[in-house]
Amino acid sequence: MSGILRRFGLIRTAAIAGFGSAVLCCSADDRFRASVAVRVPGPLPDSLWLTFPTLFDSQCLLFSHKSGSSGIDALYSYRVCPIPSSDGSGTVDDKSKPSDYFGRDTIANAAAKVAPAVVNISTHQDFYGIVSGKSIGSGTIINKDGTILTSAHVVVDFMGTRGSAKGKIEVTLQDGRKFEGKVVNADLHSDIAIVKINSETPLPEAKLGSSSRLRPGDWVIALGCPHSLQNTVTAGIVSCVDRKSSDLGFSGMPREYLQTDCAINMGSSGGPLVNMDGEIIGVNMMKLTAADGLGFSVPIDSASKIIEHFKRSGRVIRPWLGLKMLDLNEMIIAQLKKQDASFPNVSKGILVPMVTPRSPGERAGFCPGDVVIEFDGKPVERVKEVIEILGDKVGVPIKVVVKRKGDKLVTLSVIPEEANLDI
C-alpha cells in the first residue's frame, strides 16, 4: 500500500512539473501573461492555492543556445490564498480565487469595451470656399447623446485664449458612420474640448474611470486614429502619474500629466488612454518628437473637472491669488534652515517664495518666506491640495494660516480673483 502511495505522489509531482514544462516551452513569438492555478489537495491539512502570473517575452532570454536560437524569459511571482471552500460534493467556491488575473486576452478585452466609442475627427479648413488644409485627431463618445471628449488643439484654433473652430468638423465612427460635429466647449490651458454630434440611432459610449489610483508600472492602452489609421490600439505602461508641466517647458498655469510609453503619433491626440478594466483614465495629448516612448495624457480626473466647469458656466473659471507656491520636503527644509536658522520649524507645508505686486495675495498680507499650513480650515501639504480647495471660488474670502520666521503663526484672509490668462 505504501508503495502505491509513493508512486501516486511521484505521478502527481511529475504531472505538475510536466504542466510547468508545457507552459515554458510555448512559442517564443508569443507575448502574454498566463495565470497558472495549481491545487495540491493531498493529505496535507494546509493545502493552498498557488497562483503564478508568468510573463513571457522573446526579447529577454532566460536560456538560449549558442547558435542564437531564441529563448524564453519567465518572471515568476506568486500569491497564496486560502483553499477554496467546498460543500462536500467536490464543488469549489470560485469566489475565493484571485480575481485580477492578467491573461492573454486582457488587453484585447479592455480595448473591445472602448473601441466602438473611439472616433476619428478631421477638420477641413477653408477660406472663402477654398480648402487650405486638413487636420486629424481622435476622440471618444462619453454619452449616448453624441457628446465627444477630445483635445482642444484638434478642433480649435486659439488666438490668445479665445478659440474658434478650425472649420467643418467631420466625425467618423468605428463602424464607418460619418457625422458633422460641432464644438460645444474648448479650453486652451487644459487642452480639453467637447464636440457634439447628432444621431437618430443609438451611439456607443465609453465609461470614465479614475486616474487617482494609477501607479507607475500599471498597464494601459491608447486608442485612436494616428495618421487617419482608424481603430489603432497600442499598449504600454504608466511611466509617471504626475509629470509637471514645468518639466516639459510649459509656462503659465501649473498642470500635471500622465506619462506613458504607449505609441502616440499624429492623429492620436484626443483619443482615450484606457486601463485594463476598459475605462478611460486619460486623454492622449502629445508625444516628444525627439524621443520614443514619451507620450503624455491629461488625467481623466482633471478632464472631468473641466467638463463640470463647462456644464456650470460654459467655460473654466480659475481663481488667482498671485502667490508662487512650492511643496516642502525634508531636503528643502534642511537647506532653508542651513541658509537661515530662523526659518519656521515645520516638517511639511507649502512655501510662498514670491508674492506678485498688487495681487490678492499681497493685499491679504502674504510675505515671501511664509509657509502655508492651513487653507480654508483644512491642513495642507501640497500645492495640488490648495488648487483642489480653491476650485472655482472667486470673490469669496478664504482664511489661510501661515507660519513665519520665529515660528509666528498668522491668520490671513485672501479673496481670489479670476485669472486673466491673456496676460
> Catalytic amino acids?
153, 191, 269
Region of 358 please: left (phi>0), alpha (psi -120 to 50) or beta. Answer: left
Residues 6+ apart with CB under 8 A from 369: 343, 351, 352, 353, 404, 405
Contacts of residue 8, defined as CB under 8 A and 6 or more positions apart, other chains included, come to: none
How far apart, in whole angstroms, are the C-alpha atoms of residue 313 and residue 311? 6
β strands within 253-397, DSSP E? 256-260, 272-274, 279-287, 295-299, 319-320, 323-327, 350-355, 370-375, 378-379
Q: Return the ∠ at Cα 147 (arms to 273 and 154), rounded to 5°.
A: 60
* CB contact at 8 A, 219 and 279: no
Contacts of 229 (CB under 8 A, 6+ apart): 267
Dihedral angle, C-alpha 158, 163, 166, 171, nearest 10 °: 120
Q: Do residues 33 and 104 lie in contact, with contact meaning Cβ atoms separated by under 8 Å?
A: yes
Q: How far apart are CA 245 and CA 212, in angstroms?
A: 18
